[in-house]
Amino acid sequence: MKRIATCFVVLGLTASAAMAEVAPGSIQFEEGAVAQSLTGTSGNPAEGRTIMTTKSVGNCVSCHAATDYADVPFAGEVGPLLDGAGSRWDEAQLRGLVVNPKMTFEGTVMPAFYKVDGFNRPGDAFTGKAAPADLPPLLSAQQVEDVVAYLMTLKDE
Amino acid sequence: MNIKNTLTTKLCTAAVLTAFAVAAPAFADEDAELVINGEIEIVTKTTAPAHLEGHLTEIMSGWRFRSDDTQAMEMDDFDNPGMLGAEEGLAQFDTVMGSEGKACADCHDGVESLASVRPTYPKWNDAKEAVYTIQMQINDCLTERMGAEAEKYDSKKMLNFEAVLASVARGTPMNVAIDGPAQSTWEQGKEMYYTRFGQLDLSCANCHEQNYGNMIRADHLSQGQTNGFPVYRIKDNKLTGAHSRFKGCIRDTRAETFAPGSPEFVALELYVASRGNGLSVEGPSVRN
């Protein structure tokens, strides 16, 4: 009896965690912004900085520079400087920009980091081969939250 | 005297340091001019062809976007490792291949007689009713005239042939035809150039038309011109063909890429070549 009760508790926890994560196909945009957290768990700004400046993860540094990560060499010039991003945009707008910036800026060069379909000849990462049926997004839901939390720290002086 | 000597040494040192400071900035000198071996003048920047109206006003060779060291390697054939491929290509040109007992030189009066090839290909082939790249034409010669096996697209041997054909055409302006029977293939290539591919959702134009001159991490984005092909890439230590470069670019958009020699890349090569009409043939060029 006691064991059965424990099982229910464990199942309940798992179910609530799974429900909290918003799938890439279920994102609600409002004028490009995404109000709801993708995970319900606060983002970690330090983790977000690492994601953005690591080539094998977010690789945001490839196109964007920011004074806050000026220690990372060879920041790119393709996208705008991120200084003050946390003042120019609110959290929902930043989340929308990371999830899919084309919902804010039609025709932008920037990729969507939380999107899994609607691509032309999607590939399996950088192999040049066709994508698997369950193509993962470029960043996980929690990674998106971490990046948003970091961008929120980039305030105007 | 000692003081004078010391002063002279100091002045010399300063002069040398200044020379180095001027000769080796971190990034490319986009205003440099290219003259190969002190005699072949190469047009690396000119007015864009009419069909690019609304897209680009000026076209620039990738040479302009490379570092001074890389630029210098192409200014003297002894410093250009790609010229070794051209030399091998010349030897291949004189070598008998296949069952017919023929070398290229048996039909063609010296490789210089083919100087008009590199600037005008890809080109419509009447007999085959298709746009032909240089490599497709070479394979026809190998299989139909010489009784030899076809070469794999962008193989070392093919790139050696391309290198020698480019080397004898250096300084002549790129001039591929985009009208007449080639037009539909050109249109196909143009559509492809502006099509976004892969999970990164990037077109050729996103980087090479909208962002040339900008840094993408440590890489200085060029216009993606093909007048320098085949290209000796320092990081690969060998010659690279245009289709292999296209394959790598599309792969890097996290896409299912296309194969060298595919109809898609033939069309793209024609279109991209036409964006460089007016730039000098420069191959085998040196890039990083």
pLDDT tens, residue by residue, B35-67: 999 999 999 999 999 999 999 999 999 999 999
Interchain contact, A62 vs B216, CB within 8 Å: yes
Is B104 a known ligand-binding residue? yes
Taking CB atoms and an 8 Å limit, are B202 and A131 in contact across chains? no
Chain A residues within an 8 Å CB radius of B253: 123
Distance CA B271, CA B229 (A): 15
The reply to whether B12 sits in an annotated binding site is no
Give yes or no for B40 touching A (CB within 8 A).
Answer: no
Whether residue B208 is annotated as binding a ligand: the answer is yes
- Label residue A5 by pLDDT band (50, 70, 90): very low
Least confident range of A65-74, A86-95, A120-129, B22-31: B22-31
* pLDDT exceeds cutoff 80 at B18: no
Question: CA-to-CA distance for B82 and A100, rounded, in angstroms?
Answer: 43
Domains in chain A: ranges and CATH: 26-117+133-153 (1.10.760.10)
Residue A44 touches chain B, beta carbons under 8 Å: no
With the C-alpha atoms ordered B93, B95, B101, B105, is the resulting torsion angle positive or negative?
A: positive
On the 0-12 / 13-18 / 19+ scale of CB atoms within 10 A, B284 is buried
Inter-chain CB proximity B216 and A127 less than 8 Å: no
Tell me whether A136 touches chain B (CB under 8 Å): no
Nearest chain A residue (CA) to B206: A109
B218 and A74: CB-CB below 8 Å? yes
Please say if the pLDDT value at position A10 is more than 80: no
Model confidence pLDDT, tens digit, residues A39-53: 999 999 999 999 999
What local confidence, expressed as pLDDT, does residue B30 receive?
77
- Burial, B288: exposed, middle or buried (Cβ in 10 Å; 0-12, 13-18, 19+)? middle
What CATH topology corresponds to B40-286?
Cytochrome Bc1 Complex; Chain D, domain 2 (1.10.760)
Cβ separation A122–B256 shorter than 8 A: yes
Distance (Å) of CA B214 to CA A49, B58, B94, B265: 23, 16, 44, 26
B13 CB within 8 Å of a chain A CB: no
Residues of B labelled catalytic: 249
* pLDDT tens-digit series, residues B67-81: 999 999 999 999 999
Find out whether B108 is annotated in a ligand binding site. yes
Residue of B nearest to A102 (CA): B201
State mean pLDDT over B206-219: 96
B34 contact A CB<8A: no
